[in-house]
Structure 1
């Protein structure tokens, strides 16, 4: 379907009826604390629901306990193999392109700030990384996996934020639409799918067209499980490009929340980099992947030497990929190393804990809510969409160009 400013405006009026009704009932009955306590023990698909779970929550969990009936499992397996082959690169793109893309949309940065734990700034990255790893495991949709319960809890988390902001009248629905509306949910889906693929392309990663499409397909499945109707989601990478470009053009810009969240992200990864000499590489990589305009909006520091040096990354990665192509042993070793690196990064972010995605009984006080594949047929990104005739000054794309 073609996306227009008018059709996108309509999506801003829609939330998630099922999850919203579930959360509203839990709050009305004073059952949120009981629900969160019991749900800490519910983390695997097929697990018996705990005794004492509120009935409305039990009904929601039963209704959302299976993947969509239309899933093509062959496509999902291709997506998993694509992830295995590119897991380090995908983790890099998620950290240094997708997350900053979230922060460059002011109202999204505001929402994230409302739920961010300042004493634990890595939580958002930990949740995103853990969620993606769960999705790409071979047993992601089988009994014993952690992905389906994670998706169910994330959906309720989004609904709880909508509940708080609307009940406390802290969000101008008439002007801004529903908080975490359908447009924003699809926008987030684009940031973690096509904008990740854009970042991989920017890094010079060789991706087959078939592999890229399968990876995007997996995120369509995720979107459906997070409450996005199939009729609203871009059907393929070409329509995803149209939606992503229009969404970013409509909303991206500078904000204090975005700059603060970006600073937290940079600080987090500078702590991971040994010593201090290489610290500027973090900012340089973000700037390289999202472009100077978006980076300036987010107050990403400039470092002329490192900003120039980072542009050699595609050459260095190309050498590794040629080695991987020409040697099965090297391919095996690099895949193993990639998996270990991704797991090490995730372990550092989560501090060895499982992220619980609990329903917040209140939002942050400072926000003001007090609560009661093959390498042939190489993929190249779809061309940029024509921007709409009207839009915010200085608007543009946040994904790699």
Structure 2
């Protein structure tokens, strides 16, 4: 049953609302001639991992001071428990991101237009994978949402980058008003639940079931992130169960097949196979996507048919793992998915983000517990 708080009328109205504080800050920059272009602002934000008030143009200082505050309902103990659950999930969380969260976003026919309009498919798809993975690791690492935490800084920057993208798209004249506003509230909420609800659902399908308290904690951490990134509190329901109903309500409205979503999905699959060294896991990315998001959604974005024999049985045999007949229904298990995620993370650590971008950062404690080799260890 659809929650009456999220009627079509209400969600339609949310498609016309963006993020006034961040949008006004960016608009002030351009009005006062403090930055030459939205692209220039984006480059500055990407190049500087740490930002102090003294480094910022005056119009952005107030924004950064206000956007650093956690909501009054933030439960720090619950956040810590959610981050601990992330640590225990290990690289499965990254698999959920790449093979469930991102493809789910591509199924939103209007929201994906922003990604397509701003993407150079080869360079930006790789960058989006790496930088989104970096945000997830930063937010969900211990201390990530503390005042000096990397996750808190990431949320502030991404929120401002969204405002810059909106400005850029509006200036381009290529936006169709029928899509709603670019990066609007419904699309932001829909994206947010892919990091919480969709991830939790994907973990279950990979053989890792969170306890009810862990589910709530994991969801709560991302609910706080949503607040920090400017999502309307009416689209930040309190519990995981409510968040799950909101996710289903939004997906039922926005999921449609479109060429842009198919192109983004194909670019994602190609980049994942490029990032992971060797060819042992070729075909596994598309097979996992179809398994984790379901055939109906996978068909919308033209995910290739699942090829269990090529994608899974061969790697299992080569790795010396025993697979009994009749195991096909449970073949996507935590062990294989975790190995895939670990190799994906090692590939992300290895791949450069470009001359102006810092290397991928993962806390040593997580890298060791997840058994992910550093760049130096891969070189040895």
Give the alignment's TM-score, normalised by structure 2: 0.79
Q: Does 1:227 align with 2:230?
A: yes
Describe the shift of the 1:70–1:350 C-alpha distance in structure 2 as closer, same or farther (beyond 3 A).
farther
Shift of 1:164: 2.7
Describe the shift of the 1:35–1:262 C-alpha distance in structure 2 as closer, same or farther (beyond 3 A).
closer
Q: Tell which deviates more after alignment, 311-320 or 205-214.
A: 311-320
Aligned match for 2:349, one of 337, 347, 350: 347
Q: Does 1:58 align with 2:74?
A: no
Q: Is the 8 A contact 2:257 2:301 kept in 1?
A: yes
Residue aligning to 2:170 = 166
List aligned pairs for 1:362-381, cutoff 5 A: none
Q: Does 1:137 align with 2:153?
A: no
SS state of the match for residue 192, structure 1?
helix
Q: Is the 8 A contact 2:276 2:344 kept in 1?
A: no
Residue aligning to 1:331 = none
Residue aligning to 2:85 = 82
C-alpha root-mean-square deviation of aligned residues, in Å?
3.0
Q: Which has the higher contact order (CA 8 A, sep 6+)?
A: 1
Residue aligning to 1:256 = 259
Q: Is the 8 A contact 1:42 1:50 kept in 2?
A: no
| Whole-angstrom CA distance in 2 between matches of 1:130 and 1:349 | 13
Aligned match for 1:317, one of 319, 333, 345: 333
Aligned match for 2:98, one of 72, 95, 100: 95
Residue aligning to 2:14 = 11
Q: Does 1:27 align with 2:30?
A: yes
Q: Is the 8 A contact 1:23 1:160 kept in 2?
A: yes
SS state of the match for residue 59, structure 2?
helix
Q: Is the 8 A contact 1:204 1:315 kept in 2?
A: no
Stretches of structure 2 lacking an aligned partner (at least 5 in a row): 314-326, 361-380
SS state of the match for residue 138, structure 1?
coil
Shift of 1:167: 4.0
Q: Is the 8 A contact 2:70 2:224 kept in 1?
A: yes
Aligned match for 1:149, one of 144, 149, 153: 153
Aligned match for 2:291, one of 260, 285, 288: 288
Q: Does 1:43 align with 2:41?
A: no
Stretches of structure 1 lacking an aligned partner (at least 5 in a row): 322-333, 357-401
Q: Does 1:203 align with 2:206?
A: yes
Q: Is the 8 A contact 1:123 1:349 kept in 2?
A: no
Q: Is the 8 A contact 1:280 1:306 kept in 2?
A: no
Describe the shift of the 1:63–1:17 C-alpha distance in structure 2 as closer, same or farther (beyond 3 A).
same
Describe the shift of the 1:75–1:165 C-alpha distance in structure 2 as closer, same or farther (beyond 3 A).
same
Higher helix proportion:
2
Residue aligning to 2:324 = none
| Whole-angstrom CA distance in 2 between matches of 1:275 and 1:202 | 26
Residue aligning to 1:244 = 247
